[in-house]
């Protein structure tokens, strides 16, 4: 695939980035695409591999490398190189429902397994994918595909994150009537309110919603699902409209639970309900995005004028957690005008290059400096990350608001996390954000359907599948898998849809 000597003739060239000095003034996406000819050159670097690991999704040493969707990457890279963009997109869309999402937020498991990356730089698969889907939208290759025949079967999907959207998209195109129920005022789940605008512009999600609605999917937002008791308790908390699990089971032939894993991992030393100035990261990001969507534009100044969010302006911010959400919090508080930002990470600092025991094509356990880290380095002069450290205690003022924290070094001994004696330090902190991950689905949504949970807080289904035995209920995405990536959520949604279709029809052609 591609040009035989492309990987020898051209060096890897990523999409450009707006410099930190400029991009921190706005919540706009900041990646700038290559010229079309440059993109074709990048696609030509795809080698004619005998075994394309990029689309394999192999589990090596406990971590997956290669695309979980098994995207036909060499095929569409070849078509991009040859200028056949429409056909290239057709090959991409065959396995991927929402390339506009993964092309922006996926950590590119495909590139980590690229043959070019064994001794050099991998192919720009991630950027090529984004080019393809945006070119398809721009040139009208993507049009509503309304099923010509309906099956007469009705499916309810609870949750509109990437897994729920994938289930809905697949089953709708199959001909089933699909209705999606979302607790928030907008669809998208963490795509909408867990990932900041500069990483995924919210107009991209609204564009996809409009397309799916044109194809026949019905979305109900501000709709809470639970048993009678939980619906009553949460009516004013999250949603203006309510429906019980009994209602869904009576009205629909199948119900698919895709509610995510939104139960945040607590930080024992800092309870957001007891200490002012302490928040879970997703709550912080959600409020920011909601305020930004009401503002006149997506600049930092417009956000300030709008108000109604957790403001980091002029504050010493500490973020607990070194993953993508922690990085997104760094970028967000910088745009708000934070006085300082520190990110605490319990794990040791990864090496800059692969260790000998972490060979290609395993997932590279190396140091990743993301956009938020880059912006903090530019603004404050230092990398904000402090490794092998956590919060030991929190000091508050007379009003119960946080004023500083005490940190402590930690280490793993015999598989247990232990504190390093004498390593305590005091750190100024006006705003503490907990981005320590999630520990499973919220209880009330699972309890409404009497769904059994694993010790990890995930919904238990039939072995290797998505069906809850003896019911018409299915589960997919983070609710079923546990906290994971957008690409895995879409993969789960597609696989679950196949099981639902077979359950409804007795066979499936998905």
pLDDT digits (tens, 9 = 90+) for 292-305: 999 999 999 999 99
Prior bond of 93 cis (ω within 30°):
no
| pLDDT at residue 233, as a whole number | 61
Q: Which of 472, 481, 462, 479 is nearest to 500 (CA)?
A: 472
What does pTM read for this prediction?
A: 0.96
Q: Which residues touch 309 (CB under 8 Å, ≥6 apart)?
A: 287, 288, 290, 291, 292, 303
Determine phi and psi for 450, rounding to 5 degrees: 55, 45
**Helical (H) or strand (E) element with 111:** helix 109-112
Tokens of 275: 């200490």
**Coil, helix or strand at residue 4:** coil
Please say if the pLDDT value at position 474 is more than 60. Answer: yes
What percent of the chain has pLDDT above 70? 97
| pLDDT at residue 241, as a whole number | 83
- Alpha helices by DSSP H, listed for 307-457, are 324-336, 371-380, 443-447
Q: What's 14's DSSP letter?
A: P
* Average pLDDT score over residue span 361-367: 94
What is the C-alpha separation between 287 and 311, in angstroms, rounded? 10
How large is the angle between the packed helices 281-294 and 324-336, nearest 10 degrees?
A: 50
| pLDDT at residue 318, as a whole number | 98
Average pLDDT, the chain: 95
Q: Which of 487, 447, 213 is nearest to 324 (CA)?
A: 487
Please say if the pLDDT value at position 205 is more than 80. Answer: yes
| pLDDT at residue 2, as a whole number | 67
Give the count of beta carbons closer than 10 Å to the beta carbon of residue 399: 8
Distances (CA, A) of 397 to 20, 96, 268, 342, 483: 35, 51, 19, 21, 35
Q: Which of 262, 230, 260, 261 is nearest to 245 (CA)?
A: 230
Please say if the pLDDT value at position 181 is more than 70. Answer: yes
CA 167 to chain centroid, in Å, comes to 17
Domains in the chain, please, with CATH? 6-138 (1.10.1060.10), 154-263+439-505 (3.50.50.60), 278-434 (3.50.50.60)
From the number of C-beta atoms within 10 Å of its C-beta (0-12, 13-18, 19+), residue 447 rates as middle
Taking only the tens place, the pLDDT of each residue in 35-52 is 999 999 999 999 988 889
| pLDDT at residue 505, as a whole number | 98
Residue 279, strand partner residues: 433
What is the C-alpha separation between 78 and 44, in angstroms, rounded? 7
| pLDDT at residue 339, as a whole number | 98
Please say if the pLDDT value at position 235 is more than 60. Answer: no
Among 9-18, 148-157, 237-246, the range scoring the smallest mean pLDDT is 237-246
Taking only the tens place, the pLDDT of each residue in 237-257 is 555 688 899 999 999 999 999
Distances (CA, A) of 233 to 240, 242, 280, 287, 362: 12, 11, 22, 22, 47
Please say if the pLDDT value at position 288 is more than 80. Answer: yes
| pLDDT at residue 3, as a whole number | 85
Tokens of 158: 């609870």
Tokens of 92: 């991409």
pLDDT category of residue 1 using cuts at 50, 70 and 90 = low
Determine phi and psi for 219, rounding to 5 degrees: -110, 135
Q: What's 444's DSSP letter?
A: H
What percent of the chain has pLDDT above 90? 92
Taking only the tens place, the pLDDT of each residue in 377-413 is 999 999 999 999 999 999 999 999 999 999 999 998 8
Please say if the pLDDT value at position 234 is more than 80. Answer: no
| pLDDT at residue 236, as a whole number | 47
What is the C-alpha separation between 32 and 453, in angstroms, rounded? 44
């Amino acid at each position: 695939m591609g040009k035989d000597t492309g990987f020898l003739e051209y060096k890897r060239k990523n999409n450009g980035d707006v410099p930190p000095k400029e991009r921190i003034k706005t919540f706009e996406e900041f990646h700038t695409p290559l010229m079309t000819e440059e993109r074709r050159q990048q696609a030509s670097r795809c080698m004619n591999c005998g075994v394309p690991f990029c689309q394999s999704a192999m589990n090596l040493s406990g971590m997956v490398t290669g695309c979980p969707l098994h995207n036909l990457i060499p095929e569409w890279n070849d078509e991009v190189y040859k200028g056949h963009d429409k056909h290239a997109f057709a090959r991409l869309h065959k396995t991927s429902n929402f390339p506009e999402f993964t092309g922006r937020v996926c950590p590119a498991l495909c590139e980590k397994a690229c043959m070019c990356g064994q001794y050099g730089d991998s192919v720009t698969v991630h950027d090529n994918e984004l080019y393809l889907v945006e070119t398809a939208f721009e040139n009208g290759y993507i049009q509503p595909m309304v099923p010509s025949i309906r099956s007469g079967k009705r499916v309810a999907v609870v949750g509109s994150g990437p897994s729920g959207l994938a289930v809905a998209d697949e089953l709708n195109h199959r001909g089933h009537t699909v209705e999606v129920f979302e607790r928030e005022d907008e669809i998208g789940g963490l795509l909408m309110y867990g990932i900041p605008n500069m990483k995924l512009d919210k107009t991209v999600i609204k564009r996809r919603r409009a397309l799916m609605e044109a194809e026949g999917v019905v979305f109900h937002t501000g709709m809470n699902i639970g048993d009678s008791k939980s619906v009553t308790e949460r009516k004013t908390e999250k949603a203006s409209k309510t429906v019980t699990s009994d209602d869904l089971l009576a009205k629909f032939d199948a119900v698919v639970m895709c509610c995510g894993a939104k139960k945040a991992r607590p930080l024992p030393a800092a309870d957001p309900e007891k200490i002012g100035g302490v928040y879970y990261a997703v709550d912080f990001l959600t409020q920011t995005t909601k305020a930004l969507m009401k503002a006149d534009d997506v600049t930092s100044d417009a956000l300030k004028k709008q108000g109604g969010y957790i403001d980091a302006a002029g504050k010493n911010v500490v973020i607990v957690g070194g993953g993508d959400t922690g990085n997104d919090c760094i970028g967000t508080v910088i745009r708000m005008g934070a006085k300082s930002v520190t990110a605490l990470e319990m794990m040791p600092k990864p090496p800059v290059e692969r260790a000998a025991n972490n060979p290609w094509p395993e997932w590279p356990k190396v140091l990743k400096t993301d956009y938020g880290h880059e912006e903090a380095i530019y603004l404050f002069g230092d990398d904000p990350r402090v490794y092998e450290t956590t919060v030991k205690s929190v000091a508050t003022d007379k009003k119960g608001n946080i004023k500083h924290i005490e940190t402590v070094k930690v280490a793993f001994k015999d598989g247990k996390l232990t504190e390093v004696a004498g390593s305590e330090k005091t750190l100024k902190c006006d705003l503490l954000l907990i981005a320590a991950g999630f520990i499973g689905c919220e209880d009330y949504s699972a309890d409404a359907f009497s769904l059994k949970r694993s010790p990890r807080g995930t919904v238990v289904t039939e072995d290797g599948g998505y069906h809850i035995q003896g019911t018409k209920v299915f589960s997919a995405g983070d609710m079923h898998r546990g906290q994971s990536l957008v690409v895995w959520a879409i993969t789960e949604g597609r696989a679950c849809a196949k099981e639902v279709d077979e359950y409804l029809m007795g066979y499936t052609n998905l």
